[in-house]
């Protein structure tokens, strides 16, 4: 980490503020909260733009450079003024003046605003984001029909005790052994500073789990889990692929992740009543409000683009080790801030329609010698099966020599 950093917007292309649909944001790769540095970016709002009452996850400093910015109950800020606001402090509405307004934002936590929902008969702030409702939760033996309905209705559900204590111990042991060898540190190195900041500078992520962590193979190809994914995606595809099998270990002091949809990976993909991607996050440590339990916004796949969750529209995936949260990949969600003294570990197993290119390149991550030793269900999930859409009046995809790529693996 550098001891000093220069932030300069020269040559930086602005984009429209996604939280309001107007105004410009200038975002620099070195100002994305990575490597111990704060989030630093420039906001330019048009004249008379109003933002609703909101708060932020962390303390925020504003450095005003142009125009005027009036905040109800505080007054008007002008070029040359500096404003500080405490994490969780609700303020607003705020409105720019006749010439608009411009200011730098500096924060050591996710700076995205969280809109406040007012009570019907009193000007009180809604409950803090940490005190929000949860998702439908199911105990063993699982009622999969009810789980399917919960996912179809709210977009997600929690299943208790998905992994036994023995399996948790085995998987954690394998992960610890792999990380101790130091073959792959697992910290972001995608080549995109912006994407690496999204992944988290203090978060270890591993792909290729079928090779690196053999005890995860049975989990990735778990009969109940894959069947759930096939039912959820089945309207849109004849088969599913592993989108990503990922270790996610959120380090201490990691800020909250940017809210996102996993389907944002495919730019032109439309959302519908049936998903093309589903995700299972399996807790290998307890998920608490302190160590980063995942934020999930139920029903958000039905929302218009650009709409952000309000403070009372979040669920938190608070879970014991071994529990799993199942959800649609087009729900708005994100990892929470880890304010505890220890990392928080989980496996994220996502499945995608068989005609989409997965996030993880399993052909390179898992050597073919390993693939030949795997059970057929897992081989198919890694891409060694064709997507046969003929029954749905489509074609076939992923062929090898005009036949199934399983042929490359030899006799079964």
| Beta-sheet strands, E only, within 33-93 | 39-45, 50-51, 54-55, 60-71, 75-78, 82-85
- 80 within a domain of the structure (yes/no): yes
Separation CA 263–CA 350 (nearest Å): 11
Q: What is the pLDDT of residue 119?
A: 39
Give the range of the structural domain holding residue 385, as residue numbers without chain letter: 137-409
Does residue 215 share a domain with residue 237?
A: yes
Contact 339, 244 (CB under 8 A): no
Does residue 156 share a domain with residue 119?
A: no
Q: What is the pLDDT of residue 2?
A: 67
* pLDDT tens string 99-114: 999 999 998 877 778 7
Q: What is the pLDDT of residue 280?
A: 98
Does residue 100 share a domain with residue 165?
A: no
Residue with tokens 């990949």: 329
- Of 94, 126, 158, the residue at which a domain comes to its end is 126
Q: In the chain, which stretches have pLDDT less than 70?
A: 1-2, 34-35, 117-133, 411-412
- Of 78, 106, 126, the residue at which a domain comes to its end is 126
Say how many domains are in the chain: 2
Does residue 94 share a domain with residue 141?
A: no
Separation CA 266–CA 273 (nearest Å): 17
Question: Tell me, what CATH number does 120's domain have?
Answer: 2.60.120.10
Among residues 299, 347, 358, 341, the alpha carbon closest in space to that of 319 is found at 347
Q: What is the pLDDT of residue 126?
A: 29
Contact 277, 241 (CB under 8 A): no
Among residues 331, 393, 383, 327, the alpha carbon closest in space to that of 355 is found at 383
Residue 281 is inside which H or E element, if any?
A: strand 277-283
- 131 within a domain of the structure (yes/no): no
Q: What is the pLDDT of residue 125?
A: 31
- 2 within a domain of the structure (yes/no): no
What are phi and psi for residue 159, nearest 5 degrees?
-115, 125
Separation CA 105–CA 107 (nearest Å): 7
Query: CA angle, corner 82, sides to 60 and 18, nearest 5?
Result: 45
Does residue 371 share a domain with residue 296?
A: yes
- 1 within a domain of the structure (yes/no): no
Separation CA 146–CA 393 (nearest Å): 30
- 116 within a domain of the structure (yes/no): yes
Q: What is the pLDDT of residue 34?
A: 67
Structure tokens at 221: 């190809």
Separation CA 328–CA 236 (nearest Å): 13
Q: What is the pLDDT of residue 169?
A: 97
Does residue 154 share a domain with residue 55?
A: no
- Of 126, 157, 173, the residue at which a domain comes to its end is 126
Separation CA 342–CA 291 (nearest Å): 8
Q: What is the pLDDT of residue 12?
A: 85
Q: What is the pLDDT of residue 395?
A: 83
Among residues 87, 52, 92, 89, the alpha carbon closest in space to that of 75 is found at 92
Question: Tell me, what CATH number does 149's domain have?
Answer: 2.60.120.620
Does residue 100 share a domain with residue 238?
A: no
pTM, to two decimals: 0.70
Contact 400, 383 (CB under 8 A): no
Does residue 219 share a domain with residue 107?
A: no
Does residue 152 share a domain with residue 118?
A: no
Does residue 160 share a domain with residue 122?
A: no
Does residue 144 share a domain with residue 254?
A: yes
CA distances in angstroms from 363 to 368, 376, 399, listed in the order given? 8, 15, 14
Length of the chain: 412
């Amino acid at each position: 980490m550098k001891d000093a950093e220069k932030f300069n917007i020269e040559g930086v292309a602005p984009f429209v503020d996604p939280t309001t649909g107007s105004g410009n944001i200038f975002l620099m790769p070195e100002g994305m909260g990575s490597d111990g540095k704060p989030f630093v970016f420039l906001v330019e709002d048009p004249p008379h733009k109003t933002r609703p009452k909101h708060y932020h996850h962390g303390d925020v400093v504003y450095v005003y450079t142009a125009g005027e910015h009036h905040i109800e109950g505080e007054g008007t800020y002008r070029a040359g003024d500096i404003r500080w606001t405490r994490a969780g402090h609700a303020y607003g509405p705020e409105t720019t003046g006749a010439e608009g307004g411009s200011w730098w934002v500096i924060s050591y936590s996710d700076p995205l605003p969280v809109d406040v929902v007012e009570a019907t008969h009193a000007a009180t702030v809604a409950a803090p984001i940490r005190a929000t409702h949860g998702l439908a939760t199911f105990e063993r033996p699982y009622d999969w029909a009810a789980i399917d309905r919960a996912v179809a209705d709210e977009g997600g559900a929690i299943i208790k005790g998905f992994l036994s204590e023995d399996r948790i111990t085995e998987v954690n042991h394998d992960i610890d052994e792999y990380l101790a060898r130091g073959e792959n540190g697992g910290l972001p190195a995608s080549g995109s500073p912006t994407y690496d900041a999204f992944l988290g500078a203090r978060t270890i992520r591993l792909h290729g789990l079928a090779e690196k962590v053999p005890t995860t193979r049975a989990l990735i190809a778990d009969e109940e889990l894959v069947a759930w994914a096939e039912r959820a995606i089945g309207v849109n595809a004849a088969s599913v692929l592993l989108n990503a099998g990922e270790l996610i270990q959120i380090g201490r002091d990691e800020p909250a992740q940017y809210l996102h949809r996993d389907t944002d990976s495919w730019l032109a993909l439309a959302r519908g009543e049936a998903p093309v991607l589903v995700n299972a996050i399996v807790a290998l440590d307890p998920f608490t409000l302190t160590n980063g339990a995942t934020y999930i916004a139920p029903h958000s796949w039905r929302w218009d683009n650009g709409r952000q969750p309000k403070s009372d529209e979040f669920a938190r995936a608070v879970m014991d080790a071994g529990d799993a949260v199942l959800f649609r990949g087009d729900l708005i969600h994100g990892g929470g801030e880890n304010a505890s003294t220890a990392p928080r570990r989980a496996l994220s197993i996502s499945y995608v329609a068989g005609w989409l290119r997965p996030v993880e390149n399993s052909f390179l991550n898992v050597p073919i010698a390993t693939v030949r030793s795997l059970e057929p269900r897992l081989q198919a999930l890694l891409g060694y099966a064709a997507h046969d859409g003929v029954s749905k009046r489509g074609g076939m995809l992923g062929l090898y020599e005009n036949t199934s790529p399983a042929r490359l693996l030899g006799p079964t």
